[in-house]
Chain A
Amino acid sequence: MDLRTGPRALSADKLSKSYGSFVAVDGISFSIDPGECFGILGPNGAGKTTTVKMISAVSPPTSGHLDVLGFDPAREPRSLKAVVSVVPDENNLDIDLSVRANLEVYAGYFNMSRAQATTKSQELLRFVELEDKAELDVDDLSNGMKRRLLLARALLNDPRLLILDEPTAALDPSIRHQLWDKMRDLKARGMTQILTTHYMDEAARMCDRLIIMNGGKIVEHGEPLALVKKHGQPDLEGVFLKLTGRKLEE
């Protein structure tokens, strides 16, 4: 392992991913420090989700080097997945199971005993304020509650790295604030976070540093405020539009 990457939570070096002749991620390099909230921004099709899939050991890189918490995702997926969690951009809760069973069964996948799974699930239901919904079917939850349950599910294994893929998409403002509060809680406990988002206000609020991707490449990186200053824009959205040349929700 490269010595410089030792204390990093993550380091990516010339990371690429192609599907046939289509290059989704094109030689990106970046690193993330422990305890940091790191943003990956970009318009649709920029390569954010592909990057996240490589980091979470779901999709093997085509080329380049990737080190996540000291593991090579392509070669040690099982060890890595034990300490990384993803809050996915689409709801993939298990609708055949109750709210509580969603957590308990999922805890089993992380090799927890039944007793551990029960305790941990109860604790997380409390954390995301779904204790009184525990026996409901997942389908009976509101969108905001489903997001909270997805977050709780991602915390079952006490991840060292939490990846949030568009966590507040299509949520109303008060629920977005609730989720941000939870994210801040987790960050205060030292959990490293990767946040992909379309919302520039979210990125400006939550991220210590971020990269902006476009067409599979990193077009800018830095701290949100410094980027605003550097590009002489009123806010991060202005920086984004200037760099990607696209409207956000197109």
Chain B
Amino acid sequence: MSLLRNLATISPRGVMKMWERDRRAFRKVFWVSMVPTFCGPLILMISLGAGVGTLVSSVEGLTYQQFIAPGLLASSAMLGATYSCTYDCFVRLKYQKVYDAILATPLNIEEIVTGELFWGATRGLLGAGAFLFVIATFGLVKSPLAILTLPLLFVVGLMFAVLGMAFTALISDVSLFTHYFTMFVTPLFLFSGIFFPVQNLPAWAAGMIEITPLVHCVRATRCLLSNQLTSQFWWDILYILALTLAFFLLSIYLMRRRIVK
């Protein structure tokens, strides 16, 4: 229960100070950071939309480009937050010793980690927001509900921030992030219903995918963009919130265990 006691010490102001540090540091690396999270999905949308789109007349009543755009949007939030809370945080933790320096001030680990998580979500939202603007100019956004994807994408970013942070707290070598990306992020990207409906897979595979996180984000984003708030949408939101909460607690616990000796 010491976890809950430590959580109770979090002050919004402390979290904000950590977030503010990241925001100032981000100025320096803005373009370097934005290019992979924003351009990656964009290139895929253009190439697949133009290429595969000519082979596929419609998917679930949408053009192929309309079909893949929401999933790519969600994946952009995933990538931005994931890079931020894996590589970036690990470097600050282990090599730059930024957290050691901050821990000499009244900020505590819980505030540092929470600030990093919110910054990760912000990074995700920045890339995804820019991507949303682009797909809107492509004419792929029909519903005014599209604006609600922004808070959703922030939460999607937060979920992948807490997942990445928990992994970061556990590993000792930066090269292990390669495994995180090849074994976790890339399969999610390929099998979460971004490029084809999950139902096209065998039932057992589709069932397994339901356990993983990105599919819920893709479906929820697609629902918002196509203006269909079904019960499925709310289940997806519930999954996202529950997983985020669970891994938030876990990442805080693991980071304190790692840093305080």
- Contact surface of A with B, Cβ cutoff 8 Å: 19, 56, 58-60, 77-78, 81-82, 85-86, 88, 90, 92-97, 101, 105-106, 108-111, 153, 157
Contact = CB atoms under 8 A, between A and B. Distances in A.
14 contacts: A60-B260, A78-B108, A86-B104, A90-B97, A94-B25, A94-B98, A96-B29, A96-B98, A101-B24, A108-B20, A109-B14, A109-B102, A109-B106, A111-B17
B100 A88 contact: yes
Nearest to B16: A108
A98 to B, nearest CB: 9
Given A78-B106, A105-B21, A111-B13, A92 B97 contact: yes
B261 interface: yes
A201 B25 CA distance: 40
B261 A92 contact: no
Contact of B17 (A77, A90, A93, A108): A108
B21 A108 contact: yes
Contacts of A90: 97
A59 B100 CA distance: 11
Contact of B101 (A77, A78, A92): A92
Contacts of B100: 88, 92
Given A56-B104, A59-B261, A109-B107, A96 B97 contact: no
Given A59-B260, A85-B104, A111-B13, A92 B98 contact: yes
A188 B184 CA distance: 58
A241 B101 CA distance: 33
Interface in B97-126: 97-98, 100-108
Closest CB pairs A-B (n = 9): A96-B25, A92-B97, A109-B105, A92-B101, A78-B106, A108-B17, A81-B106, A86-B104, A105-B21
B105 A110 contact: yes
Contacts of A56: 104
Contacts of A93: 101
B179 interface: no
B258 to A, nearest CB: 13
Contacts of A19: 261
**Chain B contact residues: helix, strand, loop or mixed:** helix
B104 A95 contact: no
**Chain A contact residues: helix, strand, loop or mixed:** loop
Contacts of A153: 101
B67 to A, nearest CB: 39
Given A56-B104, A78-B108, A109 B260 contact: no
A110 B98 CA distance: 15
Interface string B168-197: 000000000000000000000000000000
A219 B261 CA distance: 26
Nearest to A17: B261
A82 B107 CA distance: 10
B47 interface: no
Contacts of B96: 92, 94-96
A204 to B, nearest CB: 28
Given A90-B97, A92-B96, A94-B98, A58 B25 contact: no
A189 B108 CA distance: 30
A209 B107 CA distance: 32
B122 to A, nearest CB: 16
A180 to B, nearest CB: 22
Contact of A81 (B29, B104, B261): B104
B193 to A, nearest CB: 36
A162 to B, nearest CB: 11
Contacts of A96: 25, 28-29, 96, 98
